[in-house]
Amino acid sequence: MNSFRSDIILLFALCLVYSATSQEITVHDPVMAAEKGRYYLYSTGKGISVSSSPDMKHWNPEPPVFPEAPAWAESVVPGFRNHIWAPDIFRHNGRYYLYYSISSFGKNTSAIGVATNETLRPDAPDYHWKDHGIILRSVPNRDMWNAIDPNVVPGQAGDHWLAFGSFWGGIKLVKLSDDLLSVRQPEEWHTIARRKRSFETADEAPGDAAIEAPFIFYKNGYYYLFVSFDYCCRGKESTYKVVVGRSEQVTGPYRDKAGQLMTSGGGTPVITGDSRWAGAGHNSIYTFGGEDYLVFHGYDSTDQGKPKLRIVKVRWKDGWPGE
């Protein structure tokens, strides 16, 4: 397992996009897409929270994706209150696919669903999110993986893969059907990252086994797998941090800069907390206007530990994100 020295804080080794006049909006698990000169941000929240911006600095709230909970959510989580987790936005053949998580905190009673839309602009006449239901589901005492934190990535052969998961058996990767609405048959599964975990470890407190929020980004012949280590969702007590490994194949094996396998706890540090940001994690990464941007949330210790949106421009050195 990689250790994190207290002086390894790469957050400010990246070039900040935010200026002093930028909004520090409250978000959790942010992902982003751009359409016709406007940026759209999707994040954990009631019905999936949505904001839009002309410049990635000044954000306006938009209507949620689901004003009412998906009809199937109650069958996964009884009493579900439409608090939807960790979306991922993906464009394919002119259509937008929004993957999302229905879950119970601290349990692998979870499912990943998908909705589609022809546009992201709420004022467009053809704007409508069509829900297609469950792609996959995890059940306690049956599955040693958790159906949360989805991320879709194209493979080398024109196929598409869904990365997801946390804790338990680590981060999984499964091939999707051609329409991106279900798992391809026969099923093809891979474990692409995990940390050592004892079966005696409590689900609510996995300690050094905590890993989640995969995001895979292709650049210059490599697939880069970003994941978050340690604890989110604890305000000023959060210990979230982002690490990365890379592979020439989407299915792995992913290794960190030192050559350690991510399936054996490897991961090169990318961002972590500092004196203001108690933890930083659940990132996504995009190329806009020829520049790569890392999008994530950090817990603001100067504002009651609220999760705030952070966007940084990525600097690459020797094939790795960082200084």
Q: Which domain holds residue 195?
A: 11-321
Does residue 3 sit within a domain? no
Q: What is the overall mean pLDDT for the chain? A: 89
Q: Return the CATH number at 71.
A: 2.115.10.20
pLDDT, one tens digit per residue, over 268-309 is: 999 988 888 888 999 999 999 999 999 999 999 999 999 999
Whole-angstrom distance, CA of residue 226 vs CA of residue 139: 25
1 belongs to a structural domain: no
Average pLDDT score over residue span 162-181: 92
**DSSP secondary structure letters along 285-305:** EEEETTEEEEEEEEEETTTTT
The reported pLDDT for the residue numbered 14 is 47
Establish if 6 belongs to a structural domain: no
What is the C-alpha to C-alpha distance for residues 171 and 146, in angstroms, rounded to an integer? 9
124-159 confidence digits (pLDDT tens): 999 999 999 999 998 877 877 889 999 999 998 899
Give the global pTM: 0.91
Q: Which residues are catalytic?
A: 29, 212
User: In the sheet where 45-46 sits, what is the strand order?
Assistant: 45-46, 83-92, 95-103, 110-117, 130-138
Domain presence at residue 5: no
What is the count of structural domains for the chain? Answer: 1
Gap between the Cα atoms of 205 and 28, Å rounded:
20
- What value, to the nearest 5°, has the Cα angle with vertex 48 and ends 269 and 308? 45
> In the beta sheet, which residues pair with residue 280?
298
pLDDT-above-90 percentage for the chain: 74
Asked whether residue 2 is assigned to any structural domain, the reply reads no
- The CA distance from 77 to 81, in Å, is 9
**Which amino acid belongs to residue 108?**
N
Residue with tokens 């829900």: 131
What burial class does residue 173 get, using C-beta atoms within 10 Å of its C-beta: 0-12 exposed, 13-18 middle, 19+ buried? buried
